[in-house]
Amino acid sequence: MQAPVFDLGAHCRAIAAGVVLIAAASCAVSQTQEVELGAGAAAQVAAELPLIRDAAVVNYITTLGNQLARATDLRNLTWQFTVVNSKEVNAFALPGGWVYVNRGLIERATNMSQLAGVLAHEIGHITRRHSVEQMNQVQGANVGLALMCTLTKVCENGASQAAINIGGSALFAKFSRSDEAEADQEGVATTIKAGISPNGIPAMFRLLLSERQRNPNAVDAFFASHPLEERRIAATEGQIATFPARQLSRLTKDTPAFQTFRRRLLAMPPPPVPKAR
């Protein structure tokens, strides 16, 4: 997804959370500052978004996420992977190692490699420090609230929409096409390094495009923040084709653990309806 399907929009936008005033040029933000920004934003997300705390769900997403992050992270960040209890299809990343994926995206994925591709794309936004570019835009923003609006559409008709959009859309809609392309490239490379098939990335893109044709409402939050076009799919497939077929054929596409994880989410009560803001 261009912006993110992983940028899955907000998602992708590794959001530079505006918790700490960063007046310095974005390139001057240290790793310590980046982690502080992420931690502050993560606290806001925990306050505003319904997160799934079920131990089996937390354990699975943490294990898969760390398998991917360990394959690519050269900075030894502490990674945190979380499932958001939202039916909307989306995912996002915060600076410093926080990655979130909506329940609605996982339930639509048909195999493990599709979810892994989304996580690897988000990880790429963090490792390539795309979030740092956005830090100056989000000073003082309520990142948790902005994310809730971006990810769930709950603010669409609310009186506070205008105010939130200033913080929210500006915050989350600015990942550049080049950032998205870079995160896609990272996603392909990272899944392969982790022993997982990269074909889940274009497969997930196609799945979302076809769902948009059938049921636009279900995925519009995602497309609002992650421009997704055929050429993004073609670019990803072209990159995958540069790897030897024998190598690709040995990579893992699906696991029983993923299917158990997905069934567990599908069996849970419907996500809470967000309170209008």
| Furthest CA-CA distance within the chain | 56
Give the integer Cα–Cα distance in Å for 4 and 158. 25
Which of 137, 161 has the CB closer to Zn ion? 137
Reference 124, options 245, 258, 5; nearest CA is: 5
Q: How far is the CB of 40 from Zn ion (least distance, A)?
A: 21
From residue 158 to residue 177, the character string flagging contacts with Zn ion as x (rule: CB under 5 A) and all else as - is --------------------
Stretch that binds Zn ion, among 18-26, 110-118, 181-189, 264-272 (CB under 5 A): 181-189
Q: 52 with 21: CB under 8 angstroms?
A: no
77 near 35, Cβ under 8 Å? yes
Q: Is 144 in the site for Zn ion (CB under 5 A)?
A: no
Cβ proximity to Zn ion, 35 vs 118, nearer residue: 118
Told to check if 99 binds Zn ion by CB under 5 A, we report: no
Amino acid at site 121: H
Closest approach, Cβ 269 to Zn ion, in A, equals: 30
Considering the rule CB under 5 A, would residue 4 count as an interface residue with Zn ion? yes
Q: Residue 121 CB, nearest distance to Zn ion (Å)?
A: 5
Q: Whole-number minimum distance, CB 6 to Zn ion, in Å?
A: 5
Q: How far apart are CA 107 and CA 206, in angstroms?
A: 15
- Residue 12 Cβ, how far from Zn ion at the closest point, in Å? 3
C-beta of residue 152 within 8 angstroms of C-beta of residue 221: yes
CB atoms within 10 A of CB 139: 14
Contact (Cβ atoms closer than 8 angstroms) between residue 221 and residue 150: yes
Query: Which residue minimizes CB distance to Zn ion?
Result: 7
Rounded to 5°, the CA angle 79-112-242 comes to 90
CB 147 within 8 A of CB 16: no
Q: How far is the CB of 128 from Zn ion (least distance, A)?
A: 10
CA distance 234 to 258: 27
Give the list of residues 6+ apart from residue 213 with CB closer than 8 angstroms, or none: none
Q: Considering the complex, state which of residue 54 and residue 230 has its C-beta at the smaller distance from Zn ion.
A: 230
Give me the residues paired with residue 84 across strands. Answer: 51, 102
Q: Of the ranges 1-9, 205-213, 257-265, 268-276, which one interacts with Zn ion (CB under 5 A)?
A: 1-9
Gyration radius of the chain's alpha carbons:
17
* 7 sits near Zn ion (criterion: CB under 5 A): yes
Nearest CB to Zn ion, comparing residues 128 and 153: 128
Binding of residue 148 to Zn ion (CB under 5 A): no
* Contact status: 183 vs Zn ion (CB under 5 A): yes
- Does the protein bind Zn ion through residue 12 (CB under 5 A)? yes
Pairing mode, if any, of strands 80-84 and 98-102? parallel
101 binds Zn ion (CB under 5 A): no
Total binding residues toward Zn ion, as defined by CB under 5 A: 6
**Piece in contact with Zn ion (CB under 5 A), picked from 7-15, 84-92, 186-194, 203-211:** 7-15
Considering beta carbons, is residue 85 or 131 the nearer one to Zn ion?
A: 131
In the complex, the residues that contact Zn ion under the rule CB under 5 A are 4, 6-7, 12, 180, 183
